[in-house]
Amino acid sequence: MPVTVLKAAPGQPPQTAADIADTVQMMLARLGTGGAQVALEYARHLDGWRGDVTVRRAHIDAAIAEVPQSLKDDIRWAHDNISRFAAAQRATAQDMEIELRPGLVAGQRQIPLSAAGCYVPGGRYTHIASALMSIATAREAGVADITACSPPNGALGIPPAMLFAMDLAGATRILTLGGVQGVAALAFGMFGAPAADILVGPGNAYVAEAKRQLFGPVGIDMFAGPTDSLVLADHTADPETVAIDLAGQAEHGANSPVWLATTHRPLADQVLARIPAIIADLPDPNRNAAATAWADLGEVVLCDTVEEMAQYADAKGPEHLHVQAENLPWWRQRLRSYGSLFLGEETTVAFGDKAAGPNHVLPTSGAARYTGGLSVHKFLKTVTWQRVDQRALPDLARVTASLSRAERMEGHARSADIRLERCAQRAEAVNDG
């Protein structure tokens, strides 16, 4: 049976506007030809930043000294989790080789990228955790050179706690640059940085569009849109907890959808009743962002069965999927479409956003149906190799020539033929000797 919609989302997250795409295209063209000087012009005009773009070691050390010890300890605690999880992921990416047939050996290598560009968003919030998620993961993957950039917070520049996190995570250099000019500096290699092999990290619509337009010559983690979250809850869930979790994720921004699917109508009614008051209790500007997101994009649906809830989740492909229901092992095995899965009432998406360990840079806007989030694997190239000797060559050359001619690719066939002929000649010479 179709799900029953108890609260519809009257609005839809805005798509990248044509004017944003045009603006980014023009900016990237100027930055590509004008280089660092144009980046400085944009930094002064758009961010009001007139200080050094490259954050010097003495400035980093002075900023770190300003960070309270308790906050340093907490950042280190989160960094330890993130780094250890990334290191465990790295251990799963192994070189290997296999002898497919006698004399035919093939294999793969895991090669870290040489240079990564990590964009760390700023603005309304100081995204300390984002610095850890991107930089520490690149470092654990084995990337040798990591450039991180973040927009200035007024005359202060990059906030001290952010600088501490970037430095702790292993940034080779830190640039005080945001927006399109920051992305371009990473991609093109400005201010002493090499051109990045990959651009990673979340950002606003202009940052996302810049990454999209640069993709090809440079890799990107993903084309990210507004963050989104889905809660699946049954009769065992606590309505207050569910409501707080939804409201908490809505504060990301006015364009950040939050959804609830449940098999329990009383829970849905209580959540719908509580969310407005929970949002109203948030401070500004969080309250306004969450209120708009909930009013325009929030959705609550009632399902008949847990299988219907699972189907609803798979169709949504949410960035964050939180199950607050019984029989968690069943959910872990059944669900197939999400950026990151949060199992049980004791966990929360906020844990994953900040400190739990798995990466919080995740696919949005339904992209979780076909891809996962940022991981050490994004910073590795899986390349293959092969080696052939006389034992495998006759059959391999014969089959290659046959398939090539079936495909009307005579040049390919002849490159196999010559090896087959020489193999036969060598064998004949051995017999004559």
Domains of the chain, residue spans: 4-12+226-372, 35-221, 389-432
Q: How far is Cα 114 from Cα 111, in angstroms, rounded to an integer? A: 9
Question: Is 373 within 8 Å of 339 (Cβ atoms)?
Answer: yes
* 322 HSE (CA, 13 A, CB side): 28
pTM, two decimals, is: 0.92
List active site positions.
319-320
Instruction: Report CA dihedral (319, 320, 321, 323) to the nearest 10 degrees.
Output: 180
Q: How far is Cα 131 from Cα 55, in angstroms, rounded to an integer? A: 15
pLDDT value for 158: 96
Buried b (16+ CB within 10 A) or exposed e, 322-355: bbbbeeeeebeebbebbbbbbbebebbbbebbbb
Strands 145-150 and 258-262: unpaired
pLDDT value for 424: 86
Whether 35-221 and 4-12+226-372 are alike in CATH topology: the answer is yes
Q: Is 48 exposed, middle or buried (0-12, 13-18, 19+ CB in 10 A)?
A: exposed
pLDDT value for 56: 97
pLDDT value for 285: 87
Identify residue 71 by its one-letter amino acid code: L
100: left (phi over 0), alpha (psi -120 to 50) or beta: alpha
Q: How far is Cα 84 from Cα 34, in angstroms, rounded to an integer? A: 41
Angle formed at CA 21 by CA 17 and CA 25, multiple of 5 degrees: 170
Which residues in the chain land under pLDDT 70? 1, 12-16, 433
Q: How far is Cα 244 from Cα 374, in angstroms, rounded to an integer? A: 27
pLDDT value for 34: 97
pLDDT value for 43: 95
pLDDT value for 223: 86
Rg (CA), the chain: 26
Candidates 3.40.50.170, 3.40.50.1980, 3.40.50.300, 3.40.250.10; CATH matching 35-221: 3.40.50.1980
Q: How far is Cα 396 from Cα 404, in angstroms, rounded to an integer? A: 12
pLDDT value for 359: 96
CATH (residue range 4-12+226-372): 3.40.50.1980
